[in-house]
């Protein structure tokens, strides 16, 4: 089993940027598609984006397309979520997760999760 630890969250003003990291333990990181999700208070967990095993392909939710970029470094067993042009509605706890299949957008399809990191965007 792979364990994930997110970091990089914090408080930022609208229009600002943050980069989240997702560090994985274990030697099988490159075997998994990595996804990012977020959950705001009182709302369901929402898909943000995903990246293929090698990092060659990515896919995003419409709400973040053009503002957020996912990348990964398999040598460091780490995935990243670069968030630009942040909006107050991006405020949420952000989670990374792993899946064996590419293209999954539903949280229940992912096999393991990190503990989450809080992102707060002030207006």
The predicted-structure confidence for 97-119, as pLDDT tens digits, reads as follows 999 999 999 999 999 999 999 99
Q: How distant, in Å, are the alpha carbons of 66, 69, 109, 115 from that of 104?
A: 20, 17, 7, 20
pLDDT value at position 2?
Answer: 87
- Evaluate if residue 79 carries a pLDDT over 90: yes
Average pLDDT, the chain: 96
Whether the Cβ atoms of residue 92 and residue 38 lie closer than 8 Å to each other:
yes
pLDDT value at position 26?
Answer: 76
46-84 burial, b for 16+ CB within 10 Å, e for fewer? Answer: bbbbbbbbebeeebbbeebeeebbbebeeeebbbbbebe
- Evaluate if residue 73 carries a pLDDT over 80: yes
* Model pLDDT for residues 16-49, shown as the tens digit of each residue: 999 999 999 977 899 999 999 999 999 999 999 9
């Amino acid at each position: 089993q792979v364990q994930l630890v997110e970091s990089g969250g914090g408080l930022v003003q609208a229009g600002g940027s943050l980069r989240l990291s997702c560090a994985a333990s274990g030697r099988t990181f490159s075997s998994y598609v990595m996804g990012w999700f977020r959950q705001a208070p009182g709302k369901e967990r929402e898909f943000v984006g995903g990246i293929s095993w090698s990092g060659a392909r990515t896919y995003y939710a419409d709400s973040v397309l053009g503002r957020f970029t996912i990348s990964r470094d398999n040598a460091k067993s780490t995935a990243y979520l670069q968030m630009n042009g942040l909006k107050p509605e991006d405020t949420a706890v952000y989670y990374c997760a792993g899946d064996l299949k590419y293209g999954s957008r539903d949280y229940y399809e992912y096999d393991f999760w990190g503990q989450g990191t809080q992102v707060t965007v002030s207006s």
